[in-house]
Structure 1
Amino acid sequence: MATAGDGPWLDDAAGRLVRPFTVSDGRTRPTVELDLMSQVMATGTTPFGYLGPEHAQALELCRAPLPVAEVAAHLKLPLAVTKVLLADLVDGGGLTTKPPVSDHHPTDRALLEAVLDGLRRQL
């Protein structure tokens, strides 16, 4: 049975009824360079080209800047699929992207401890 608002694509017992790579038409490589922490944001213009339901969801999520990893989590799609969808939206003019801004090295101990503390507060 589908959950309210999810349409025919999700089922409470079975999960996603459509294979994730069907969403990206089998494409696995985005046309735009995106990493996990790249920021994406809607431009406010309607993108040209076909927009599937996941494209529309991603566009709605990106009204405020979000990292690619967070968009993938909200869409409940693999990162590779999400990157393809976001690249479609960038190519169509609906999204803009910028590389992550960080004053810290990803293995900086203070940064990792701050992330761990934040996660603990969430649990």
Structure 2
Amino acid sequence: MSVLDTDEHWFDDAAGRLIRPYTVSNGRTEPTTRMELLSMVIATGRPPQGQLGPEHAQALGLCGSVITVAEIAARLRLPAVVTKILLSDLVDLGAVDTRSPAPMADSTNLTVLEAILDALERRI
């Protein structure tokens, strides 16, 4: 079973997500770790030092190899800020590490933005 197969219970094709995104973050609106959409995330391989919710487990499952915050948000079908909060929780629990995007990954560069859009459209 893939990580996203477990999302069936919380997502309805006609209605969309059955729980509000900010319920996932317990109403929090700010992550504890600063991240950008192009920040790279990878699992540390260490067990989390705390309890994981289902969305945390799904996010962690996507971090087996290096992945961007934007791609995780797209795969989880969550707003970027909610995804950043989930990932910052995982950083706090020691389960993932993040790295700022490479300096050449300029977020104002049209080529970079088109590549991100292509990747997100392939995921939908």
Q: What interval of TM-score do these two structures reach, taking the shorter chain for normalisation?
A: 0.7 to 0.9
Go from structure 1 to structure 2 and tell me whether the alpha carbon gap of 1:114 and 1:54 turns closer, same or farther (over 3 Å shift). closer
Please name the residue that 1:115 is paired with. 115
TM-score (norm 1): 0.82
Aligned residue in 1 for 2:18? 17
TM score, norm. by length of structure 2 = 0.81
Structure 1 vs Structure 2 CA RMSD? 2.4
Give the unaligned 5+ runs of structure 2: none
Between stretches 99-108 and 80-89, larger displacement belongs to: 99-108
- Can you list the C-alpha shifts for 1:75-99, whole angstroms capped at 9, x where unaligned? 0000110000000000000000110
Q: 1:10/1:99 Cα in 2 relative to 1: closer, same or farther (>3 Å)?
A: same
Query: Quick one: percent identity of the two aligned structures?
Result: 51
Q: How many residue pairs were aligned?
A: 116
Q: Deviations 1:1-27 (Å, cap 9, x if unpaired)?
A: xxx643431123211110000001000
Higher RCO (CA < 8 A, seq sep 6+): 2
Q: Which of 1 and 2 has greater Rg?
A: 1
Q: What is the CA-CA distance between 1:33 and the residue it aligns to?
A: 0.5
In the TM superposition, what whole-angstrom CA distance separates every residue of 1:22-42 from its partner, at most 9, and x where no partner exists? 001000100000011010100
TM-superposed CA distance for 1:61, in Å, is: 0.3
